[in-house]
């Protein structure tokens, strides 16, 4: 079946640009297959963008490319006016300090305590001193407790992360991200491994933080209902390319579900 033509409509009116992506392409190192193909996106400050698409559509690759956890083959990424592609290691670290990344599998250190993991969030700004709470500055320790309070896990500070439920671990990851005081949040299927109640709680938390702080959010999701409920804009990816990009208010659930239906047919 031939791929449907992209339906492109203008995204909501922009203020300053938070993320600018142009002609971004990624190839797998092993076999040279294309994972992202000439993707272009401009995301204004404070917008919440949902990336949808089937497994392998390129959502995770795109998010990782934005902070060069995956190196793009070509194209350019700018975050907050700083060019990410081609940036030196030092500049890249500075960009990453301002970008909170929430992963599907949390990416915490399971053996360490909740508090210890949250303190790690300050490593971008304060360096290796924050690798261990023992030597972390006092204000960082206090800030970590504030962040844990924000995600309602202050009473779990001394517990090992591996003893918590998936939803709680994701909230720890969000608390760690809060330590970065991010201007942009990238979330790669943050609720994919959570039950519906935990998924709603995590999405409420992220959208609340975004609203409080005017943070730009790009979140990869499979749940159409969550995308429509929380996002200002929906970008659908298919085979590594943007299939459509439009304001969430202009989309409906049936239309977005068709992305998945087309893939499985």
User: What is the contact surface with another protein in residues (CB under 8 A)?
Assistant: 67, 69, 93-99, 101, 103, 105-112, 120-121, 123-125, 127-128, 130-132, 160, 162-163, 173, 176, 180
Residue number, 220 or 224, with CB nearest to another protein:
220
Radius of gyration, CA atoms only, the chain: 18
State the nearest-atom distance from the C-beta of 167 to another protein, in Å: 15
State the nearest-atom distance from the C-beta of 229 to another protein, in Å: 26
State the nearest-atom distance from the C-beta of 67 to another protein, in Å: 6
State the nearest-atom distance from the C-beta of 86 to another protein, in Å: 17
CA 103 to each of CA 45, 60, 63, 64: distance values in angstroms, whole numbers, following the listed order? 22, 9, 10, 10
Question: How would DSSP label each residue in 91-115?
Answer: HHHHHHHTEEEE-TT----TTSBHH
Residue number, 202 or 251, with CB nearest to another protein:
202
- Strand order across the beta sheet in which 34-44 lies: 34-44, 17-27, 74-79, 82-83
Residue number, 193 or 239, with CB nearest to another protein:
193
Residue number, 107 or 249, with CB nearest to another protein:
107
Residue number, 54 or 180, with CB nearest to another protein:
180
Burial class, 240, CB count within 10 angstroms (exposed 0-12 / middle 13-18 / buried 19+) = buried
Residue number, 112 or 145, with CB nearest to another protein:
112
- Give the 3-state secondary structure of residue 56: coil
Residue number, 136 or 228, with CB nearest to another protein:
136
Burial class, 71, CB count within 10 angstroms (exposed 0-12 / middle 13-18 / buried 19+) = exposed
Distance (Å, whole) CA 44 – CA 214 = 11
Phi, psi of 170 (to 5 degrees): -65, -35
State the nearest-atom distance from the C-beta of 96 to another protein, in Å: 3
State the nearest-atom distance from the C-beta of 162 to another protein, in Å: 5
State the nearest-atom distance from the C-beta of 113 to another protein, in Å: 10
Identify the H or E element spanning 255: helix 253-264
Distance (Å, whole) CA 97 – CA 179 = 10
């Amino acid at each position: 079946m031939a791929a449907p033509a992209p339906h492109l409509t203008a995204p909501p009116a922009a203020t300053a640009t938070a993320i600018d992506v142009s002609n971004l392409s990624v190839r797998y190192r092993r076999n040279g297959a294309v994972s992202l193909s000439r993707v272009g996106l401009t995301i204004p400050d404070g917008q919440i963008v949902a990336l949808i698409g089937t497994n392998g559509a390129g959502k995770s690759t795109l998010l990782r490319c934005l902070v060069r956890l995956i190196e793009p083959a070509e194209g350019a990424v700018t975050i907050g006016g700083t060019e990410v592609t081609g940036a030196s290691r030092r500049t890249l670290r500075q960009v990453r300090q301002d970008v909170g990344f929430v992963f599907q599998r949390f990416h915490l250190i399971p053996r360490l305590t909740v508090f210890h993991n949250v303190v790690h969030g300050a490593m971008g700004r304060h360096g290796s001193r924050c690798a261990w709470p023992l030597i972390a500055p006092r204000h960082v320790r206090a800030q970590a407790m504030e962040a844990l309070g924000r995600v309602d896990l202050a009473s779990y500070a001394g517990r090992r992360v591996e003893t918590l439920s998936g939803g709680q671990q994701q909230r720890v990851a969000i608390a760690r991200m809060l330590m970065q005081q991010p201007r942009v949040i990238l979330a790669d299927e943050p609720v994919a491994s959570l039950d519906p109640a935990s998924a709603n709680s995590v999405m409420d938390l992220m959208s609340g933080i975004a609203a409080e702080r005017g943070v730009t959010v790009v979140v990869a999701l499979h749940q159409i209902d969550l995308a429509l409920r929380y996002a200002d804009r929906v970008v659908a990816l298919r085979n590594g390319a943007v299939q459509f990009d439009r304001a969430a208010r202009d989309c409906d659930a049936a239309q977005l579900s068709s992305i998945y239906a087309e893939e499985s047919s």
